[in-house]
Amino acid sequence: MKKSILFLSFIAITAGAMAQKLTTTSAVVTFDATTPKDALPKAENKAVIASLDKTTGAVAFEAAVNNFSFTNAMIQDHFNGEKWMNSASFPKFTFVGKIDKLSKIKFDKDGTYDVEVSGNITVKGISQPINAPAKVTVKGGAVSATSTFGIKLKDFGITGQAIDAGKVAEKPTVAVAVQF
């Protein structure tokens, strides 16, 4: 009997702790490097891994570079090639950070909460600090989050003729949408 009570207590504590960390494998990240000269450098990745720890505010996402889908196959080849993302050598990009002022979010109350997220984004093995606005929505106990920010390609060693010619934005927009 004592063993059963101890076992059930352990399961209850473990379940409570695990409920604090939310994860998904279907977050969406879009990459938009369009310019007035070219509307094609835009991609979407619907197989992004993301996590949120409701007690610490730790947030993270990881995206496989070759999962970004462009409407133009040639642009997709360039994006994954050695001069750009070099997905053979650097197969993923990541963000690891924290929600600033986590106490603004009431995970037990429906609402939309505007917060800031700070951390490091790593592209092609180069990590850069980033601060970005985020919107966290709680509805019926489900949590979702969105954020949109820009990155400077040259900060990650990405340069080239297409950027110089104005066909690819020097500072593309990255948007993240997560449904936990």
* The pLDDT of residue 4: 44
Task: Specify if 104 maps to a domain.
Answer: yes
Contacts of 8 (CB under 8 A, 6+ apart): none
Q: 15-54, pLDDT tens digit by residue?
A: 444 468 999 998 999 999 989 998 888 999 999 999 999 9
C-alpha closest to that of 166 among 36, 69, 70: 36
Task: Specify if 86 maps to a domain.
Answer: yes
State the CATH number of the domain containing residue 38.
2.40.128.110
Task: Specify if 7 maps to a domain.
Answer: no
Task: Specify if 3 maps to a domain.
Answer: no
Domain with 32, as residue range(s), is 21-179
Task: Specify if 40 maps to a domain.
Answer: yes
Alpha-carbon distances of 52 from 40, 59, 134, 166, rounded to whole Å: 32, 5, 13, 37
Contacts of 179 (CB under 8 A, 6+ apart): 24, 26, 27, 142, 144
* The pLDDT of residue 118: 97
Asked whether the beta carbons of 29 and 178 are under 8 A apart, the reply is no
Task: Specify if 144 maps to a domain.
Answer: yes
Contacts of 97 (CB under 8 A, 6+ apart): 58, 59, 60, 117, 118, 119, 120, 130
* The pLDDT of residue 13: 45
For 5-36, the DSSP string reads HHHHHHHHHHHHHHTTEEEEEEEEEEEE--BT
- Ranges of residues in the chain whose predicted pLDDT is under 70: 1-19
This model's pTM is above 0.85: no
Task: Specify if 4 maps to a domain.
Answer: no
* The pLDDT of residue 19: 61
CA 119 to chain centre: 11
* The pLDDT of residue 75: 87
User: Domain count of the chain?
Assistant: 1
Task: Give the bridge partners for 53, in sequence order.
Answer: 21
Alpha-helix residue ranges (DSSP H) falling in 19-144: 73-80
